[in-house]
Structure 1
Amino acid sequence: MSINKESDLAANLQIGPTTLGMVRIYIEGDGVDLPLDFDPDEALEIADELRAAAEAARKMAK
């Protein structure tokens, strides 16, 4: 699967802090149980990338 390929797959996404001071992105779906832990600086970089992608998608939709 690539970034531009549509899919019928569904998953739950949870994001929050852990007791160890990390930021966890937790993905759960059919046959998938994927906890991803990032230090706070990495999490902020991901947030910046997500915001940039959202802004680019908004421009493409116009």
Structure 2
Amino acid sequence: MGINSESDVAANLQIGPTSMGMVRIYIEGDGVDLPLDFDPDEAEEIADEIRAAAARARTMSGKKDR
């Protein structure tokens, strides 16, 4: 499965700070329990990548950027 493959898999996503000063992305689904911890700088880099991907996706779908 690649980034451009559709899937019927459902999962819950939670994002928040941990008591250790990290940012946790927590993914939970059928048979999946995946906590991913990042330092704040890494988390900001991920956020920038998500924003850039959203902007590209809007361009591809013909929707305007916010």
Shorter-chain TM-score category?
over 0.9
TM-score of the superposed pair, with normalisation by structure 2: 0.93
Q: What is the aligned residue count? A: 62
TM, length-normalised to structure 1:
0.99
For 1:58 and 1:19, the matched residues in 2 are separated by 36
Give unpaired runs (5+ residues) of structure 2. Answer: none
Aligned to 2:61: 61
**Residue aligned with 1:7, SS:** coil
CA RMSD of aligned residues (A): 0.2
Q: Aligned with 1:41: secondary structure? A: helix
Alpha-carbon offset, residue 51 of structure 1: 0.2
Q: Which runs of 4+ in 1 moved over 2 A?
A: none
Q: Percent identity over the alignment?
A: 81
Unaligned runs of 5+ in 1: none
Provide the residue aligned with 1:45 in structure 2. Answer: 45
For 1:2 and 1:10, how far apart are their aligned partners in 2?
16
Aligned twin of 2:4: 4
User: Deviation of residue 32 (structure 1)?
Assistant: 0.1
